[in-house]
Every structure is written in C-alpha cells, then in structure tokens.
C-alpha cells in the first residue's frame, strides 16, 4: 500500500493546505506532530511523477505527521459543528 502524502502543515495561523502556501521553505510550516515540530518543505509544483505535498526538511522524518494532521482536522470539524451525533 502506498504511504499517504502529507497535505496539511501547521503554521502560526493554524493548519494550512499545501495549495494555500508558497513553495519550499517559504511556506513557514512545521510538522503537525507535536513531538516533531520540524520545518516542512512545500512541494506544491505538481509534475508528471509527483503529487503536491509537504515533506520534512532533510534529516527530520517523524512518521506520525499524517495521523497528526488528520487528528487536528477532526478537532477543527468538531469545533465548527459544536455537536456530535451518535446512532441510537
């Protein structure tokens, strides 16, 4: 199975999608995993071989960034909806 690509990074303003930031280190984003927090590189210039995504700066690949980004996105959804529905 193909490893999912990281499409959300954490900025001072909160989670940012890869399509909403400048390319490279200019994105000013870090890994969403609190244990890591290392700088991310925005690779948002698509090519025939790669999809747009964030990558850790060289030497800093935590392995939990994708899961952490999903966790933070879920928190944003709950905060916006202000309710949780469960089956009877």
Task: Give residue-wise pLDDT tens across range 8-61.
Answer: 999 999 999 999 999 999 999 999 999 999 999 999 876 655 789 999 988 776
Q: What is the pLDDT of residue 26?
A: 94
Q: Decide if 88 is inside a domain.
A: no
Which of 42, 31, 37, 41 has the alpha carbon at shortest distance from 69?
31
Q: Decide if 24 is inside a domain.
A: yes
Q: Decide if 23 is inside a domain.
A: yes
Q: What is the pLDDT of residue 58?
A: 83
| pTM (2 d.p.) | 0.81
Number of structural domains the chain divides into: 1
Which of 2, 5, 3 has the alpha carbon at shortest distance from 43?
5
| More confident of the two residues 45 and 68 | 68
């Amino acid at each position: 199975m193909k490893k999912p690509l990281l499409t959300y990074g954490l900025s001072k303003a909160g989670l940012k999608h890869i399509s909403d930031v400048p390319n490279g280190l200019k994105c000013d984003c870090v890994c969403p995993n609190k244990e890591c927090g290392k700088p991310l590189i925005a690779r948002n210039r698509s090519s025939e071989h790669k999809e747009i995504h964030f990558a850790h700066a060289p030497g800093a690949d935590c392995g939990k960034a994708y899961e952490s980004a999903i966790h933070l996105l879920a928190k944003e959804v709950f905060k916006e909806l202000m309710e949780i529905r469960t089956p009877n």
